[in-house]
Amino acid sequence: MDIGLPKRVIEIEPASLPVPEPAPILEPSVEPLVDPDPQRTPAPTEPR
Amino acid sequence: MRTAPSPSRSLPIEREIEPILAWRSWTLTGRRDGGGLLLRPVTAGSRPWRPQEVTQATCRLAWSHEAPNPDCSCGLHATRELDTLRKTRCPAVLGRVALWGRVIEHEHGYRARFAYPQRLRLICQFCFWQESAASSRPDVVAWYARDLLVPMCVRHLGVAEENGMRPRRILPAGIVDLRLRETYAVDALAI
């Protein structure tokens, strides 16, 4: 790709950088669901 | 704005506060699921443009000068006119980029110290070469070895397959295009 001969030098100091800020890392608002331990799950009782 | 003689090649130096917007193309790499997208310069061996990070120019002659240097070809290249990019090798993505820091203006483009894309769009490189950017609408993105992603229209995918370029996987272009813009946090390029 030929962009030709240089014409001038420009020193650019933008007031704000044209780069997106990284997205914030959000803490989960609720605790993650945990699978119930099948061994601790009470066994269904027999109907009397 | 101030004008002063340049120490090298007597180029005038001007000072500005607004970044320059120019055209640029890249190749694209990513995983087979369309994730991990990364813009890479079309020149082999150059460093990728990482998402949400300022890209900074470097030069192999860094021991002698900072990029860009008026007496060298180093710097982040971009063009004034879109059609100038039709001569580049294997473009997969077109975009508008912001350039700042030291920018050397050339007859047909720029070389900059810092850059970041502002708008991006996938293109079918074959339609782009043969016709224009406006007619270059990819339908799919072909995934090849070394994670190379090549957006293509259906017609040129057929041509590629007939010539032995059978992709390992085919992804929908719309999804990859959206994911690319989300990855770099930029807007769509409307042409």
pLDDT digits (tens, 9 = 90+) for B16-73: 999 999 999 999 999 999 999 999 999 877 899 999 999 999 988 767 789 999 989 9
Say if B183 is an interface residue toward chain A (CB within 8 Å): no
Q: What percent of chain B has pLDDT over 70?
A: 95
* Burial class, B47, CB count within 10 angstroms (exposed 0-12 / middle 13-18 / buried 19+): exposed
Residues from chain B that touch A16, judged by Cβ atoms under 8 A, are none
Q: Which of B102, B106, B110 to mutate to test the interface with A (most CBs of A within 10 A)?
A: B106
Lowest mean pLDDT segment, chosen from A44-48, B33-37, B143-147? A44-48
Say if A4 is an interface residue toward chain B (CB within 8 Å): yes
Rounded CA separation B148/B141 (Å): 10
Coil vs helix vs strand at A11: strand
Q: Band of the pLDDT at B14, cuts 50, 70, 90?
A: very high
What is the reported pLDDT for A33? 52
Say if A22 is an interface residue toward chain B (CB within 8 Å): yes
Q: Interface pTM (ipTM) of the complex?
A: 0.85
User: In the predicted model, is pLDDT for residue B184 greater than 50?
Assistant: yes
Rounded CA separation B121/B96 (Å): 9
Q: Which of B46, B83, B85, B105 to mutate to test the interface with A (most CBs of A within 10 A)?
A: B105
Phi, psi of B60 (to 5 degrees): -65, -20
User: In the predicted model, is pLDDT for residue A24 greater than 80?
Assistant: no
